[in-house]
Structure 1
Amino acid sequence: MRSIYPVFRYADAHAAIDWLCAAFGFRVHAVHEGPDGSVAHAELALDDDMIMIGTGNAPQARPADDAYAVYVAVDDVDAHHDRAKAAGAEIIREPFDTDYASRDYAARDLAGNVWSFGTYRP
């Protein structure tokens, strides 16, 4: 059972949903729109995990490159990196090997949130 759900806000949540699916491999689990057509609440899944997003103000200041909004474990970091880069993700740290036997990389999404992807699974 899940206990932690990272939540992200985007000025254009519909565009963010499309981009997150194309760049990072998420699939739409649910989208609930508000009366004005904006995304009141959406759930995107990746394997057995999930994030929640909605329409709202994006962060005013860009987080530092090491201030990750979320860490996502993936099986093939290099393939995932290539997919994200091809979709236009801003890669802020190219794939690298850690001293704890993980291979990681980091990227910014459309709203400037920093995502870290790696093979480490706690």
Structure 2
Amino acid sequence: MRRTVYAMARYQDCQAAIDFLTSAFGFRVHEVSKNDDGAIKHAELFVDDDLIMIGPGRPGGPGVYIAVDDADAHHDRARAAGAQITMALVDQSYGSREYACEDPEGNTWYFGTYRP
């Protein structure tokens, strides 16, 4: 598969972000690059067969939507791992069941069953 568009999130503490994203959302580490001081300068995480990138910087921005098979189970896992739920699970008129949350550094993540 040749990808063209990649989601990107910025973190002040990239290692803590990787720990959270793998624990809360089930992402899998693909690659981590560090600078000479050992700080993470770039990382890639798998979400099913898709890829997101994270790097150092100021958190925030519009957020990322990720399709999941079971929004309820995903929501419960994220909440248990400490995600701040910003939009409760909801059934949308277009057929998706979804929720939104923030990670510990304030990046917004949307998860739902809608697959465009």
Compute the TM-score of the two structures, normalised by the length of structure 2.
0.94
- Gaps of at least 5 residues in structure 1 are none
Please list the CA deviations of residues 56-96 of structure 1 after superposition, one character each: whole Å capped at 9, or x if unmatched: 2334xxx6xxxx41000000000000000000000011111
1:16 aligns with 2:10: no
1:106 partner letter: A
1:81 aligns with 2:75: yes
Structure 2: distance between partners of 1:37 and 1:56: 16
Task: State the match for 2:95 in structure 1.
Answer: 101
1:85 partner letter: R
- 1:115 is paired with a residue whose SS is strand
- Gaps of at least 5 residues in structure 2 are none
1:111 aligns with 2:105: yes
RMSD: 1.1
Once superposed, which parts of structure 1, at least 4 consecutive aligned residues long, lie more than 6 Å away? none
Q: Is the 8 A contact 1:38 1:55 kept in 2?
A: no
Matched pairs, number: 115
Task: State the match for 1:31 in structure 2.
Answer: 32
Same amino acid, percent of matched pairs:
57
Please list the CA deviations of residues 6-62 of structure 1 after superposition, one character each: whole Å capped at 9, or x if unmatched: 111111101100110000110000000011111111000011111001122334xxx
